[in-house]
Amino acid sequence: MSKKPRTAITPTREENFPEWYQQVIKAADLAESSPVRGCMTVKPYGWAIWENMQNIFDPWLKDYGVQNCSFPVLIPVSFLSKEAEHVEGFAKECAVVTHHRLEKDPENGGLRPAPSAELEEPYVVRPTSETIIGDAMSRWIQSYRDLPMQLNQWGSVMRWEMRTRIFLRTSEFFWHEGHNAYADHEGAKGDCLHILDLYEKFFTEILAIDGYKGIKTADERFPGANETYAFEAMMQDGKALQAATTHDLGTNFSKTFDIKYQTKDGGEELCHTTSWAFSTRMIGGLIMMHGDDDGMVMPPRIAPQQIMILPVIKDDATAAEITEFCEAIAVQLKAQGIRAKVDTRDMRTPDKMWDAIKKGIPLRVEIGGREMEAGEVTTVRRDIGRDSKQTISVDQFVNDAESMLDAIHDDMLVRSRTFRDENTVLAGSVMEIDDFFSEDKIGFIRAPVEILEDEALAAVMKKHGLSTRNMPFIDEGSTVLIAKAY
């Protein structure tokens, strides 16, 4: 009987995927639950990932013409009340501010909202900002010369989730939200598709995650939208993760908030608006797509540290010399724009090694006295492990470091794409869908879009906890993706 290999994370993915996910977050020191119900505290390493996402994606938006701004986190309830369909989608998740002052509670000595400080109108902690930005656009847009208006803000929103999981679904989460206005539907649709392409570029070229772009079904459409476009990715347990969405809002919000412009001939028209976003749930996506039973496996282009250099010190006599040798290599790497770090903490080398493994640092470099004397380094790729271990000259390593990181990214993307393709199956009937999920198989079903009209589908969807994800562009809208989802 073979001995089960020791892993850094227990349970393993196969044993208990949800608990494995939570343990990876803990082992990589990414985030923790906060004292505020359903909210998370994102630790420095987790926040560094989010900062990198912002630092990469934000310039792409600016190149497109989008301008950053900031709107209040509190939204008057009357604003949401104006957009009935929109608010219905968020009403059960809204946190409401009703008072502006606390006072001592005479009964228990604690604090309570002061009865005399009740707000004339309550505010909602923003679940999304269409309404308050629409109000601003109604003032900022006067003429066709003001169009297109392309706005974005980075911040947080709150949706009072009942079942929470760090990064994937928390009451407060962080995102960017874009809100644009155009003269006509053609401009708005073009905006939705352009941003969706940017999302695909970001997920594939930066996060090494591939998926399916497509149009959401009517049941999954964003409240108040004419059309919703989405990028759906498959996690290792076969479930779908909605990675990003763009929404063609038509003139729905323009009618409500009086977003109009004067045409060239002096007439007046309603603007066509859009909104789009991705959020910190993509950090959860990184874990569930790339992680293994030893922890995170970070795609190099998003990793806070791309290369970790470990001085292997066996006696104090050589410690300073080896550390200095390591630092000199790090300086050369940083000069190329590579995020390299020397781990000089007062810890055992094996502990440093396992810390780098659990955090998913793409490339580990080990340098001891023997390597220093020979002018060499020993490298290990996190995505492959010890089978990738090699000893090469310092000069070769410094020259090849960037291409080594690129190779890691490319291989991770291929594995993501292969996993998606191997676990996406075609089904022509409701019975085939039922049979697939009854056998506890994982993955996506691509079925003819006409299957949505089959009355038997609803029962099977409910039985297996399925939802429609989108109608993929690769099939020109002729199929629908069906899967279990986060």
DSSP string across 1-38: -PPPPP-SSSS-TTT-HHHHHHHHHHHTT-EEE-SSTT
In contact, 283 and 174? CB cutoff 8 Å: no
What is the Cα 119 distance to its own chain's centre?
36
Hey, what are 187's tokens? 């401009």
Strand order in the sheet with 424-426: 424-426, 444-448, 479-483, 467-468
Confidence at residue 315, expressed as pLDDT on a 0 to 100 scale? 86
Torsion of CA 381, 383, 387, 389, to 10 degrees: 10
Confidence at residue 86, expressed as pLDDT on a 0 to 100 scale? 66
Nearest to 312 by CA among 329, 332, 331, 326: 326
Nearest to 139 by CA among 261, 248, 273: 261
User: Structure pTM?
Assistant: 0.96
In contact, 281 and 289? CB cutoff 8 Å: no
Instruction: Tell me the per-residue pLDDT of 401-432, one tens digit each, with 9 for 90 and over.
Output: 999 999 999 999 999 999 999 999 999 999 99
Confidence at residue 224, expressed as pLDDT on a 0 to 100 scale? 86
Instruction: Tell me the per-residue pLDDT of 249-262, one tens digit each, with 9 for 90 and over.
Output: 999 999 999 999 99
Instruction: Please state, in angstroms and rounded to a whole number, the distance separating the CA atoms of residues 446 and 349.
Output: 49
Instruction: Please state, in angstroms and rounded to a whole number, the distance separating the CA atoms of residues 90 and 426.
Output: 34
Strand order in the sheet with 96-99: 74-76, 118-125, 96-99
Task: Please provide residue 433's backbone torsions phi and psi, each rounded to the nearest 5 degrees.
Answer: -65, -45
Nearest to 171 by CA among 20, 57, 35, 24: 35
Residue type, 413: L
pLDDT in tens, the chain (486 residues): 456 678 999 999 999 999 999 999 999 999 999 999 999 999 999 999 999 999 999 999 999 999 999 999 999 999 988 876 666 777 889 999 999 999 999 989 899 999 999 999 999 999 999 999 999 999 999 999 999 999 999 999 999 988 999 999 999 999 999 999 999 999 999 999 999 999 999 999 999 999 999 999 999 999 889 999 999 999 999 999 999 999 999 999 999 999 999 999 999 999 999 999 999 999 999 999 999 999 999 999 999 999 999 999 988 888 999 999 999 999 999 999 999 999 999 999 999 999 999 999 999 999 999 999 999 999 999 999 999 999 999 999 999 999 999 999 999 999 999 999 999 999 999 999 999 999 989 999 999 999 999 999 999 999 999 999 999 999 999 999 999 999
Hey, what are 448's tokens? 């003819």
Instruction: Please state, in angstroms and rounded to a whole number, the distance separating the CA atoms of residues 276 and 248.
Output: 9
